[in-house]
Structure 1
Amino acid sequence: MNAPKLTERFEAALIYATRLHATQTRKLGNVPYIAHLLSVAALVLEAGGNEDEAIAALLHDAVEDQGGKATREEIRQQFGEQVVEIVDGCTETDITPKPPWLERKTRYIEHLRYASPSVRRVSLADKLHNARSLLAEWQQQGDVIWSQFNGSKEDTFWFYQSLVQVFRETGSDRMTEELSRVVSQLFQQG
């Protein structure tokens, strides 16, 4: 397999994402949000993703967290229809305030069952990085981490188990198996 060529579009997306999320930090660890986006893009590329998927990985939370429909339109104009379709597929909601947690998560899981391989790849990379981060923080801080999330520990476990099931149903790979291992470790220990 040939490595995807990353062009000026990827560089522009990196700058755009860095600026868009400049004041945002992760819920856990007080880490600049761009670190998550870079990790997701790296996982996508390591899994054989193309440039559009890598760009979408950098922008996968932009619509939901940084401007809704107006940001979506900027992404479409700057990076094209394919990128915005992947971002749309990874977006739980573009409504503020967000709908209730369980409603969003249930709809997202059902959507993933029929999502394109590109959407599933970016979503899987996102969820894998989130699960890795959760596990690392849980190992350092214990159950106190669950108070920083909208869903309970049990709800979060249900969500991640459901994700593993959907990703396995739609074609298991190395990332899916790692997600399964990390989720098992996180919730067996907790």
Structure 2
Amino acid sequence: MDHYLPAASPQLLRAINTAALAHRGHVRKGTDIPYVSHVFAVMHLVSQVTDDEDVLIAALFHDILEDVPEAYSAEQMATDFGDHVVDLVRGVTKDDTLTDWQERSEAYLAHLRSADEGSVLVSVADKLHNLLSIHADLDVIGDELWGRFNSPVERQVWWYRSVYEVAREKLPNNALLDELGRQVERLERRTA
């Protein structure tokens, strides 16, 4: 029996294009891969566990306010897609006034503890895609990979484990979170 897959709404299609334009010219850290591939992957992962359009749009926009606010402001995002989308994106946006990596990471975790469930879901998908990419790159280039990051491998492991632990409090019985947990454990084994 064939399953019916509804077409993406005009709003979601507009969000896909907006995200692509906001991140145009950007690439994934240490690669030539267009950054928008990450954005689309995060939305795809989120779509496996929810059909809430605001959450799907927030997944597409999750790095805009942190990385390219000059390309697409929170005000424009609110006008185009609503305050709820902006709130969800802000729920996963690191505080750029904090310059220390550890301090910024701890502030993110504290914020995530009180964030909307939709924001937590986007964070889980974001970290899951990052970890899947890390594992793929480790398979190809090995420990040379860690030179791409602003913190040592031990801090990266701590970061992914910490996000998982916070999310576990907020999203019980979630398949995406379960997969993040498996990938965190895999990272811990690979870096032990």
Instruction: Return the TM-score normalized by structure 2.
Output: 0.90
8 Å CA contact 1:41, 1:58 repeated in 2: yes
Say if 1:56 and 1:3 are closer, same or farther in 2 by CA, change over 3 A.
farther
1:68-114 per-position Cα deviation (integer Å, ceiling 9, x unaligned): 6961111111111110000110100244xx62111111011111111
Aligned to 1:23: 25
What is residue 106 of structure 1 aligned with on the other side?
Answer: 106
> 2:66 — aligned with what?
64
The residue aligned with 2:175 is: 174
Amino-acid identity (%): 35
Within 5 Å, give how 1:1-190 maps onto structure 2: 6-67=8-69, 71-95=73-97, 99-172=99-172, 173-190=174-191
Structure 2 portions without partners, runs of 5+? none
Of 151-160 and 167-176, more deviation after overlay is shown by 167-176
Aligned residues: 187
Q: 1:29 Cα deviation (Å)?
A: 3.5
Letter in 2 for 1:176: L
In structure 1, the gaps of 5 or more residues are none
Q: Per-residue displacement from partner, 1:101-145 (whole Å, max 9, x unpaired)? A: 111110111111111111111111111111111111111111111
- Between the aligned partners of 2:68 and 2:110, the Cα distance in structure 1 is 24
Q: Aligned-pair RMSD on alpha carbons?
A: 2.0
